Chain A
Amino acid sequence: MAVQSQTPSKTSARSPYFYHVEPPPAGEQTADGRVERFLNAFAAILRFSNYRFLMDLYARASAKCGRCAVSCQVYQATQDPQDVPCYRTNLLLDVYWRYFTNAGQWRGRLLGDSSLSEQKIDEMAQAFYRCTACRRCTLECPLGIDHGLVAHLGRYILSEAGIAPKGLVISVREQLEGKTGNTSAIPLPALLDNLEFLQDELEELKGVSVSFPVDQEGAEYIFFPAVSDYLMEADTLMGNAAVLQAAGVSWTIGSQYFDGINYGLFYNDWVLERIIQKLITEAHRLKVQKILIGECGHAARSARQFVPAFAGERSLPVVSILELTWQAVKDGRIHLDPTIVSERVTYHDPCNIARSGWIVEQPRQLLRSFVRDFVEMRPHGRENYCCGGGGGLVSLDETHDFRMQVSGRTKAEQIRASGAQIVATPCANCKKQLRELMDYYQLPVQIVGVHDLVLRAIQL
């Protein structure tokens, strides 16, 4: 895949950061200076969300031992003290302490130091996007401070203060306010064409007619893959459809809304909630019982975690396709031919579904059931390393250099050390990042989805 790589000098000409900033629509700024806008946004978010007590708790308890440094792949690559997760967290905690606690306000009045400045905002804008939000450091923090959550909050405040990555904002704008209503701007007719094409392809490949049902009211599952899969991951989708058909599951794709991607998880709670609401609305329109998320880490996590949070009474259970497939294999509803995949395969855990321990064992057991040569990377599972493109970075092409040289370096070494020929990973973002990494480091490794392999082995 051709990757559009930009030189750092060109990047810095357009934005002071290593990503492009999409300024908010003109005429909506509530305050003049960035400092005021930042503090206003911070104040509003503290007032109307659940972050306040967390800031209090972290500001009081953070011991700043620096132990998290060793767990962060960004820090491992740069050895720059500014990339220590705790340092990043304390950037925001300092602002909180200075402006939103009594002690800080008094100290500010008396000594007048450590106030927020343009430089500090720049530092935060840089720091919170140099974090891939993989939350690996959370496991290593003896106190249990969630640096990923603080980075999330930092990005949220920055976005309300007018600093958000252009790539994410434009996709979300199309998804929530555009004509097509999805991040990849696929019009509905194009989707239907695509489904027809996939159906033909699958018939050609497996000799069986597998349907892609659209708008079937009353189905058990409504299926939301990362919408980009329709364009770029035909094999994954065919694998999904083949499994669902073979396992005898009634499922449907919604014609009004068919995108699982939720970039709100990366930078803005307001966006996050609106996208979840679209998901819910479509599920209820089709009167389904459950929501099925395709091979996509952040889509699975955001739906799993925030459908119950935002939908209230209208909440539906959220299931990952990996759980469903493994259950079908266990139940003997589908059969996978163990002779077909003979290459050495390893599995990369997408942080969003593995860090909480939700989906760690299911895909492994699934792969082990039909892959002859399965190896593990070290470490893996809950303590895996991020691909380097987490937190939405992979959607920002201008961060290519950072993702290759810094955030993805550890992963590339891990893959090289594993000696695998195929890396299977159930995440659209991870796949894109890993492919770019393999190109960059010139490793002869094929990056596929888990269901790509399932598709090869499944017996229909």
Chain B
Amino acid sequence: MPTWMLIAKGAALRFTLGICALGLLRLLLLTALDMFAALRRAGDRRLPLGQIARQTLSWVAPLARLHRSRPAYSFASFVFHLGILFAGFFLVNHLDILKDLLGISWPSLPKPALDALTLAAIIGGAYLLLYRLYAASSRRLSKLSDYLLLVVILNILLSGYIAGRPWNSIPYDSLMLFHTLNGIALLLVMPFTKIAHCVLYPLIRLGSEIAWHFPPRGGEQVIHALYGPEGRKI
């Protein structure tokens, strides 16, 4: 068996998937627990749940918004996410590995469609990377990890895409090894980096709303903690 397949079917991937899946689940649960605790402390517990849900859902498929501001950027970002999700979860080779590992599977999508999506995602991702590098506002916002994560994802998409092409002259196994290693690196860091937004997304808007529900006497306790029981003058 080629090295990459040994990795893809071996202990490293099990460890990685364990860290990734359980780590993300943990983040989700902890955030939910914290949010419950915050809501319990709040004086006013009413939440506009319908409005929050509508807004959250509207950004899952933001088709109506893409053209409104920064159309190119928005579109690039959209196809980037779409490509990653579909190629990641519906490629038959990935599903085969998952079936080997856990015994679960679901229908895959046809390869040509995924190839097109992957290509779009690569172009979109490249645009995002260039934007981060060359737009002053984004560059100022970015740290090393923001670039690295994007590069790793692009590596995965590119190597996966090229490996299946007949015109490719790089040995298949080397490419797949590169693909697998990058994939494992990405899965491993998912719970610890901003990619955690893949599971935290549904909770962010709700969290922002809950955070506006201040607990009664919170400010007073802060003053007592900082200035003692006499407090301070304004």
Contacts and interface: CB of A to CB of B under 8 A. Distances in A.
Q: Report whether chain A binds chain B.
A: yes
A310 B218 CA distance: 10
B211 A66 contact: no
24 contacts: A25-B233, A30-B226, A40-B226, A49-B215, A53-B34, A53-B35, A53-B38, A54-B207, A54-B208, A61-B200, A75-B137, A79-B136, A79-B137, A84-B141, A86-B141, A87-B140, A142-B62, A144-B201, A149-B211, A268-B219, A269-B218, A305-B212, A308-B44, A308-B46
Given A272-B214, A273-B217, A305-B212, 20 more contacts: A25-B232, A28-B227, A30-B227, A50-B211, A50-B213, A58-B204, A60-B194, A64-B138, A65-B77, A66-B135, A84-B140, A87-B140, A103-B192, A142-B62, A143-B197, A145-B204, A149-B211, A268-B219, A308-B43, A315-B44
Report the interface size class on chain A: 35 or more
B37 interface: yes
Interface in A3-46: 24-25, 28, 30, 40-41, 44-45
Given A30-B226, A61-B196, A270-B219, A310 B214 contact: yes
B211 A69 contact: no
A51 B192 CA distance: 20
Interface stretch (B68-76, B101-109, B117-125, B160-168): B68-76
A92 B233 CA distance: 26
B212 A149 contact: yes
B194 A81 contact: no
A116 interface: no
A82 interface: yes
B15 interface: no
A207 interface: no
Nearest to B212: A149
Contacts, number: 191
Interface string A301-319: 0000110111110010000
B207 A269 contact: no
Interface of A: 24-25, 28, 30, 40-41, 44-45, 47-54, 56-58, 60-67, 69-71, 75, 79, 81-82, 84, 86-87, 90, 103, 138, 140, 142-146, 149, 160, 169, 172-173, 176-177, 268-274, 305-306, 308-312, 315, 357
Contact of A71 (B69, B196, B208): B69
Interface in B146-199: 146, 192, 194, 196-197
Contacts of B62: 142
B70 A70 contact: yes
A53 B210 CA distance: 10
A442 B105 CA distance: 68
A90 B143 CA distance: 11
B212 A140 contact: no
Nearest to B234: A173
Contacts of A138: 208
Interface residues of B, number: 62
Nearest to A47: B225
Given A144-B56, A272-B219, A64 B194 contact: yes
B42 A50 contact: yes
A183 B89 CA distance: 59
B96 to A, nearest CB: 31
Contacts of B233: 24-25, 28, 173, 177
A271 B194 contact: no
Contacts of B219: 48-49, 268-274
B16 interface: no
A315 B62 CA distance: 39
A309 B227 contact: no
Contacts of B136: 79, 81
Given A53-B35, A84-B140, A84-B141, A312 B225 contact: no
